[in-house]
């Protein structure tokens, strides 16, 4: 199991532009069984994803698909 801890480096107004694509990304990996839980941080400075995968390399590869990057 892995914890992906995301912290925004751009203003929230810029992050919002990528939100629809980020939601599709989350749905894709929930459907594949890789993501177990996710949510925004409070205050809204990023998010956290609880993921499972065969290896750190697998999760790293999935992480790099996130449109927020």
Tell me the pLDDT of the chain (69 aa) as tens digits. Answer: 999 999 999 999 999 999 999 999 999 999 999 999 999 999 999 999 999 999 999 999 999 999 998
Does residue 47 lie in a domain region? Answer: yes
Does residue 50 lie in a domain region? Answer: yes
Residue 37 belongs to domain spanning: 2-63
Does residue 8 lie in a domain region? Answer: yes
Compute the CA torsion angle 66, 5, 56, 18 (nearest 10 deg).
Answer: 0
Give me the pLDDT at residue 69, please: 86
Tokens of 3: 């914890």
How many distinct structural domains can be found in the chain? 1
Give the whole-angstrom CA distance, residue 11 versus residue 39: 18
Does residue 13 lie in a domain region? Answer: yes
Does residue 69 lie in a domain region? Answer: no
């Amino acid at each position: 199991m892995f914890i992906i801890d995301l912290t925004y480096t751009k203003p929230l107004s810029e992050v919002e532009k990528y939100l629809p694509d980020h939601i599709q990304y989350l749905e894709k990996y929930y459907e594949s069984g890789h993501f177990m839980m996710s949510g925004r941080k409070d205050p809204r400075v990023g998010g956290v994803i609880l993921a499972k995968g065969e290896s750190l390399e697998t999760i790293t590869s999935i992480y790099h698909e996130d449109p927020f990057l």
